[in-house]
Amino acid sequence: MDILSIPDLSLSECLEIVNEQFDCQAIAETLIDEASGIGFRVREQTDLSAEISHNLARFYSLSRRYFRMPRAARAFLKAFPPD
């Protein structure tokens, strides 16, 4: 997908699309079943959606700026390369 063709959607709109396209609960259950099958065990299963949504929104906002200004993003990565 071309960077310029990425739609400008809000985080809630993006999450709605993901929920329409994927059965997130079934994916999580499959992951837990697979992990249990190889010896892991579930000690606690807690929905942390409310706790992480603030950071998710912040990272989404940062990523939108990154994709809107690819030259600035490349310059930033050159100046501050990841470890």
Cα angle, residue 8 at apex, residues 48 and 67 outer, rounded to 5°: 85
Q: Where are the domains of the chain?
A: 10-41+49-79
Across the range 56-74, mean pLDDT stands at 80
pLDDT at 77 over 60: yes
pLDDT tens, position by position, 1-23: 444 455 677 777 877 887 788 88
Distance separating alpha carbons of residues 14 and 63, to the nearest angstrom: 13
The single residue listed with the structure tokens 């992951």 is: 31
Distance separating alpha carbons of residues 10 and 57, to the nearest angstrom: 9
Q: What pLDDT is stored for residue 2 in this prediction?
A: 47
pLDDT tens, position by position, 12-55: 787 788 778 888 888 889 999 999 999 999 898 888 888 888 88
- Its sign, for the CA torsion 83, 31, 54, 12, is positive
Q: What pLDDT is stored for residue 34 in this prediction?
A: 93
Rg (the chain; Cα; Å): 18
